[in-house]
Homo-oligomer: A and B are copies of this chain.
Amino acid sequence: MNEFELIRRCFHRAHHGASVIVGNGDDAAVFATPPGRQTVISVDALIAGRHVPSICPPEGFAARLLGRGLSDLAAMGADPRYVLLSLTLPSFDAAWVDQFAEKFHQLAVQWGVDLIGGDTSRGPLAAHLTAIGEVNSGAALTRSGAVAGDGLWLLGRDLGGARAYLEVLDAEIPENPVWAERYWRPEPMLDAGRALSGVAHAAIDISDGLCQDLGHVLDAASAPLKISIDSQALPIAPGLLAQFDEHQALEFALTGGDDYCLLAAIAKAEDAPAGAVCLGYFEAAEHPEILLDSEPLPSDWQLGWDHSR
């Protein structure tokens, strides 16, 4: 038995649900979708040295990989069902692989997904996760559909925490357990996503930063919209305002990324799920624009979304 077979063995755990017709280990997996349901699918890469540090703890690598991947399903209002994992490993470190697989399986069970397929290659540390979910037919939430008058609601917490943790990694500031948790153990907002189904006009998860992902919602709307974010409403991560000045804390919260909160456009406040906070209201505009407390966004913020910069 070679090392790749050993690695694959780490990932073969037969706890497949009844909808899995052919599980991990054949040329492909086969699953059945119940009548009245549709399949939701996305793929995300986690590259060491790019999305996580080059030397990456196995549990953190697994948790970030699965949390990010399932966050896409949450943003569609989907029930997670299956994952496929394509893993490249630089060398055979049995303990690392074992701990990675252990955490991966633990979270897969917790979040209700079966690992039904994968591939293992030699290469720089990276993982590509295909995440598969189900929705009732026609009920998937998309980025498009926000209209003037909708409220912008945020579901989640600790905005900017994952971004602040990058400063910890750079050893510039002291460790903060909440930030570390947000970075290494993102929690996909699966229940919140399901609660938005049939309620939200549009939804997206915050992976690239609140402003950038909100920009995608504006871009996808059928008519130009603007929105002013109420800075007082933002659930900024604890410790952020103590460690950084207000300008920097707001920048991390609004542009930092990796928050994996959900943003949703909802017509009526009474329809918003419990715990959601309203950040502002969409208004008709000449061109898409995001404001902060009715002012333009600070000009020194790095905004991938703002195409005019």
A interface, CB within 8 angstroms of B: 1-2, 21-22, 26-33, 35, 38-45, 47, 49-51, 72-73, 75-76, 78, 82, 84-86, 88, 116-119, 121-124, 126, 128, 130-133, 135, 137-138, 140, 142-144, 204-205, 220, 304, 307
**Contact (A130, B21) CB under 8 Å given A30-B40, A35-B35:** no
Q: Is the CB of A43 within 8 A of B121?
A: no
CA distance A119 to B41 in the complex (A): 12
Select which of B21, B30, B45, B144 is within 8 A of A128 by beta carbon: B45
9 A-B pairs besides A28-B75, A31-B39, A32-B39 with CB distance below 8 A are A27-B42, A28-B78, A28-B131, A29-B40, A32-B38, A41-B82, A41-B117, A45-B128, A124-B124
Q: Is the CB of B86 within 8 A of A21?
A: no
Q: Is the CB of B21 within 8 A of A84?
A: no
Q: Is the CB of A50 within 8 A of B131?
A: no
Q: Is the CB of A30 within 8 A of B22?
A: no
Which of A47, A76, A128 has the most C-beta atoms of chain B within 10 angstroms of its own C-beta? A128
Q: Is the CB of B42 within 8 A of A28?
A: yes
Residue of B nearest to A139 (CB): B30
Q: Is the CB of B88 within 8 A of A45?
A: yes
Q: Chain B residues near A22 (CB, 8 Å)? A: 40, 76, 140, 142
Q: Chain B residues near A84 (CB, 8 Å)? A: 41-43, 130
Q: Chain B residues near A131 (CB, 8 Å)? A: 28
Q: A201: shortest Cβ distance to chain B, in Å?
A: 14
Q: Sample 28 A-B pairs with CB under 8 A, ordered by A number.
A: A2-B304, A26-B220, A27-B42, A27-B76, A27-B143, A27-B204, A27-B205, A28-B42, A28-B133, A30-B40, A32-B38, A32-B137, A35-B35, A41-B84, A41-B116, A41-B132, A43-B86, A43-B118, A43-B119, A45-B121, A45-B128, A47-B88, A47-B121, A47-B122, A50-B121, A123-B124, A124-B124, A128-B128
Q: A99: shortest Cβ distance to chain B, in Å?
A: 22
CA distance A232 to B280 in the complex (A): 75
Q: A50: shortest Cβ distance to chain B, in Å?
A: 6
Q: A76: shortest Cβ distance to chain B, in Å?
A: 5
Q: Is the CB of B119 within 8 A of A128?
A: yes
